[in-house]
Structure 1
Amino acid sequence: MPKPIRYMSKRRIYQMINDEINTSSRTKRICNHQTNYLIPTEENNSAETVNSISVVSTDTSYTGENGGHNVAEQNEDHQDEVDAGNIDLPIVDNRTEGLHELECVQFYREDVSTTANSLSEDLRFWLSENSISQKAASNLISIFRNHGHQDELKKDVRTLMKTPRDVTGKIIHGNGGSYFHFGISNGLIRSLNKYYDVNPDVILIQLNCDGMSFSKSSNSQFWPLLAAIEADFYTEPFLIGLFHGFSKPNDFNVYINPFVDEMKDLQNNGIMINNKTIDVRLNAIICDAPARAYLTLTKSHSGYFGCSKCIQEGEWDGYVNFPEINNPLRTDESFRNQQQEDYHLGESLLLDLDFDMVSQIPLDYQHLICLGVTKRLLLRWCNGPKNQRLSKDKLNAINETLQAIKVCIPTEFARQPRLLDTVAKWKATECRQFLLYTGPIILKTIMGPRKYNHFMALSVAIRGLCDTQKYLVYSDYADQLLRWFVEEYRKLYGSSSISYNVHNLIHLASDCKKFGPLDNFSTFKFENYMSTIKNKVKNAPKPLEQVVNRTHEENSLPVIKNIVRPNLEVEEKNDKIIALKFNGFTNHVTLKIYVFTL
């Protein structure tokens, strides 16, 4: 049986290209580098049913490691194997003679059009991506059918979207609500197909859990269990399980039991993909403080023994605070042995996994820094005690500057600055923008030197720990800055102000040394995915069933390959930056800099 093209070595593909260039006289074909191509699902395994291949190289100026790929029409009906004699390689344009980089491999069938998907396939993608309700989708299908597309589109939208007939039988009732388990393996396979050309030997996954209210008129809420592959590039989370009720699950051990059972099997046996066994490891649990306490069955962050990193007992002064910065640290062994009994509320099922309950559960930068310390500082300056808040003139000056710089904020920022009048409603991205970008400039001429230096210590430390390349170089210095920040915080705002969030700044740098820069283990991408889940619910009855059906419809679609990863290279000469190269795009983009001293 001939070897499928997807498993051929790069050298063998080059050999086939050169042979075809010398002998073929077919029509020229050029690929569009930035267009994604479709990878089939397990049910539609047409990646191994290729009758012809189109290969094109780029101009020699492009040297991106992961080039874009063309959209390939997938045919579900054909299950033929590749025949070596049927390989069809069209002539490459003369501009690209002397292949330097294998830029595009386009899989297609001779009996299927390669220019576009069918109307039904395009419509399925559009309905799924835009979370269109079934009623609106049915009306749209009726319009298409009335204009001559009766043969292409079925009357019922559920047939088009391949909606499951009945999922109620797979829903687990009890524990204060209802739960559906999607599974880890399905999400892992789709993520690997989406983000990897060659599957890794080991998969590290991150786990997230949080509550989400989707109704303003009731307490109806979701508790999704999410996972994502840990990599040095962005990977989208996927659903493992979903709980629906009018409060959190009564028992979190019952809630995570299906996940723990499946994870144990994956840790012992791995996952088989394309005849290759891949090891699967749970590398981190990334949650906010309340969810972290629920999963580990420990005291909440508001308790006297709420710190998950050290054994300090908090002090009560209106609320629990943690004034000390030099306390013995918790260890994975001491957690398993429950040496500090006041910290534990029970035994979590997570202990059954090959997983460390202290060192592998890092602090979350989004809630700890952005929504925690930064927002608390801003609230103190605006509405705190008289000796802590800024004068009205200074607040007005800050607001005027925030208003003035709105036109200067680039589109890469998710939100434009808002005035301090609404600081209580600021989102995490707004607090992050103020801490790392706008705040250091705005406050320099407005705030007194002591408070400004105090703020800058936090800003510089977090900026260093966010650096994707030099976070290890900056980690020790950042740790010193954060410890000084906590000590100075007590002097400026009182010992009772050392809350859980402020105290845990002293533990942040150690998590960076283990997991990488702060954005590697933040909940930002998991929080963003919450809106995707929320958009799947279109009406009040049976919200869990709606999300399950929409997720199954989404998973029935072919996976869109996404492996283009632009990166920035800095070219230096004599301590001067002379060029910035943006790699990974359709062509190399080089920005020449003539006057810039590092």
Structure 2
Amino acid sequence: MERTQRENIFAGLWYGDSKPSMVTFLRPLSDTLSKLADDGIIVQPAELTSEPFVCKVLTIAGTCDLPAKALVLNSVQYNGKFGCHKCKQPGKTVKTGERGHAHVFPFQHRDPKGPLRTNEKFVLDMKIANETKTIVKGVKGPCCLSKLKMYNLIKGTAVDYMHSVLLGVMRLLMVLWFSTEFSRQPFSMAKNTKEIDRRFQEVCPPSSTRYPRSVASHRMFFKASEYRDILLFYGPVIFRGILATMYYNHFLLLSEAIFILLMESISVEQIHHAEKLLWNFCSQMATLYGERYETANVQLLVHLADSVRDLGPLWTHSCFHFEDKNGYLLRLIHGTQNIPMQMVNAVKLVQSIPVISQTIKPGNVIAEFYRHMTKDDSFCQENKDLSRIKLYGASSERLLDTVHLSALQIHAGHCINSGTVSIFHRAQVKRNYLTSKHYGKGNRRNNFTGFFFK
């Protein structure tokens, strides 16, 4: 998608030990977005005979992790009283030891996700907080996003499942299950790490997915994508028979709900079903693990279905692309001196490359060099449908049987005279690597199995 390209995702940079004032830091962005909504931009259609027209752009969604969200919306932190930006549940403070305390959000059976905040009431709370210099229902004062035309501060500000579900709830469950601190608890799997690691080693994922790492030695370094794989794919199979039944069934509620909310096409009934699963998961959290673990991330699960209703599937407004770009930006720094200018110069170069590429003609040495440096396959020669497929290794001839020949003809859309084809065991389609089942070197990966859903 164009909006996730590296040259299109960079808007601002702050360098320093302290966090910036968002009202000041985001003002240039806010002014630009407001200008796009009010004045628009002139667009020239691809057909030169068509007249240019003015296109106005409205901001409808924004996403960030919880600490950043509190700064952007100018509200209290997520672990404070009225810390949820979706509802006005105050939560409560509970003891975590002799001296420790934590602010939690107990599940409200009568009204799980209420009383809901609205954009109008949130703006009013900002105004009152600014006039009285007090905190009103968790709101400290005005924020720059409130000036955006048609932007709904409540519905438009998404719940990022990468931080709240994967790095939040899923990481919490993994700590409870495998930390030696909880080894005497009925939900602990700390004594079974060797068996679980053995099962993980038997998993053969495709090349597009991280290979499972050891729970015993690498759990504390798992990335969000690894928690996602455990939640959706590995966990329901590997934990079966090891995690106690009631805790295993509780985990499956979360797994099924998130799987549904991540689908590309979701019906209203499916969203409602996922919401009930998440509410059931949250309602059992205190009973199974203790009130202490009804954290802000667990509380956000009750609002996750509404976030999908308002903005679409979870993957459309997650922070995965932005976190990827953070790593990319770090790799642009090659010294310890004058880091801000290093970053600015590198970003300017990245943003200039697509403009320069428009002057490159496909098929020459420059185009090949550009494609190699940027991994852009649009500069490949020959048929565009075939240019994204690369075949590797030696080929062999094979005569197709009637079933496979018929299937190939249906796929091609025309009659095929010869049933003899060339067989390759390795191929690259876009950035995905595929291997046949008979490719001997791919025994740790499964790149030959596909699933198709209607």
**1:331 pairs with 2:108:** no
**1:401 pairs with 2:184:** no
CA distance in 2, matches of 1:557, 1:279: 27
Aligned to 1:373: 169
Give the drift of 1:273: 3.1
- Of the structure 1 ranges 474-483 and 528-537, higher mean CA displacement relative to structure 2 is found in 528-537
Which of 532, 555, 575 does residue 351 from structure 2 map onto? 555
Deviation sequence 1:89-136 (CA, Å, 0-9, x none)? xxxxxxxxxxxxxxxxxxxxxxxxxxxxxxxxxxxxxxxxxxxxxxxx
**1:353 pairs with 2:148:** yes
CA distance in 2, matches of 1:324, 1:582: 55
Judging changes above 3 Å, is the alpha-carbon distance between structure 1 residues 547 and 235 closer, same or farther for their aligned structure 2 residues?
A: closer
What is the identity, as a one-letter code, of the residue corresponding to 1:395? T
Deviation sequence 1:328-355 (CA, Å, 0-9, x none)? 1101111011178131111112111111
Which of 79, 90, 101 does residue 302 from structure 1 map onto? 79
What is the identity, as a one-letter code, of the residue corresponding to 2:221? K
Give the drift of 1:389: 4.5
Judging changes above 3 Å, is the alpha-carbon distance between structure 1 residues 448 and 324 closer, same or farther for their aligned structure 2 residues?
A: closer
The secondary structure found in structure 2 opposite 1:243 is coil
Give the drift of 1:387: 1.8
**1:280 pairs with 2:57:** yes
Judging changes above 3 Å, is the alpha-carbon distance between structure 1 residues 581 and 471 closer, same or farther for their aligned structure 2 residues?
A: farther
Judging changes above 3 Å, is the alpha-carbon distance between structure 1 residues 484 and 491 closer, same or farther for their aligned structure 2 residues?
A: same
CA distance in 2, matches of 1:348, 1:494: 36
Runs of 4+ in 1 over 6 A off after TM superposition: 561-566, 578-583
**1:246 pairs with 2:29:** no
What is the identity, as a one-letter code, of the residue corresponding to 2:158? P
CA distance in 2, matches of 1:506, 1:565: 44
Give the drift of 1:554: 2.4
**1:269 pairs with 2:39:** yes
Deviation sequence 1:407-452 (CA, Å, 0-9, x none)? x121111343332433222110110010001101001121222111
Q: Is the 8 A contact 1:482 1:505 kept in 2?
A: yes
Sequence identity percentage: 28
CA distance in 1, matches of 2:78, 2:345: 36
Unpaired runs of 5+ residues, structure 1, are 1-190, 196-227, 567-577
Give the drift of 1:246: 1.7
Query: Within 5 A, what are the aligned runs for 1:15-54?
Result: none
Deviation sequence 1:341-385 (CA, Å, 0-9, x none)? 131111112111111111100100000110110110010011253
The secondary structure found in structure 2 opposite 1:282 is coil
CA distance in 1, matches of 2:239, 2:173: 13
Deviation sequence 1:262-313 (CA, Å, 0-9, x none)? 1111110112232332221212111000001101100110111101111011
Deviation sequence 1:439-472 (CA, Å, 0-9, x none)? 0100112122211110111000000111112354
Give the drift of 1:396: 2.4
Judging changes above 3 Å, is the alpha-carbon distance between structure 1 residues 392 and 501 closer, same or farther for their aligned structure 2 residues?
A: closer
What is the identity, as a one-letter code, of the residue corresponding to 2:12? G
The structure in which a higher percent of residues are strand is: 1
Judging changes above 3 Å, is the alpha-carbon distance between structure 1 residues 416 and 399 closer, same or farther for their aligned structure 2 residues?
A: closer
What is the identity, as a one-letter code, of the residue corresponding to 2:56? D
Q: Is the 8 A contact 1:415 1:429 kept in 2?
A: no
Which of 317, 323, 331 does residue 521 from structure 1 map onto? 317
Aligned to 2:221: 425
The structure in which a higher percent of residues are helix is: 2
Give the drift of 1:515: 1.3
What is the identity, as a one-letter code, of the residue corresponding to 2:277? L
CA distance in 2, matches of 1:316, 1:390: 26
Give the drift of 1:532: 1.5
Deviation sequence 1:451-509 (CA, Å, 0-9, x none)? 11101110000001111123544110000000000011111011222000011100000
CA distance in 2, matches of 1:562, 1:356: 38
CA distance in 1, matches of 2:86, 2:124: 15
TM-score (normalizing by structure 2) = 0.71
Q: What is the CA RMSD across the aligned residues, in angstroms?
A: 3.3
What is the identity, as a one-letter code, of the residue corresponding to 1:321? V
Query: Within 5 A, what are the aligned runs for 1:121-520?
Result: 195=2, 228=3, 237-249=8-20, 251-274=21-44, 275-317=52-94, 318-325=101-108, 326=111, 327-338=114-125, 341-354=136-149, 355-383=151-179, 384-385=181-182, 386-405=184-203, 408-470=204-266, 472-520=268-316
What is the identity, as a one-letter code, of the residue corresponding to 1:337? L
The secondary structure found in structure 1 opposite 2:337 is coil
Q: Is the 8 A contact 2:63 2:160 kept in 1?
A: yes
Aligned to 2:396: none
CA distance in 2, matches of 1:507, 1:248: 28
Structure showing greater Rg:
1
Give the drift of 1:552: 1.8
The secondary structure found in structure 1 opposite 2:123 is helix
Judging changes above 3 Å, is the alpha-carbon distance between structure 1 residues 395 and 245 closer, same or farther for their aligned structure 2 residues?
A: same
The secondary structure found in structure 1 opposite 2:76 is coil
Q: Is the 8 A contact 1:365 1:518 kept in 2?
A: yes
Give the drift of 1:239: 1.1
Query: Within 5 A, what are the aligned runs for 1:77-88?
Result: none
How many residue pairs get aligned? The number is: 351
CA distance in 2, matches of 1:334, 1:304: 18
Judging changes above 3 Å, is the alpha-carbon distance between structure 1 residues 565 and 470 closer, same or farther for their aligned structure 2 residues?
A: farther
Aligned to 2:446: none
Deviation sequence 1:514-534 (CA, Å, 0-9, x none)? 211110010000000011211
What is the identity, as a one-letter code, of the residue corresponding to 1:422? H
The secondary structure found in structure 1 opposite 2:141 is coil
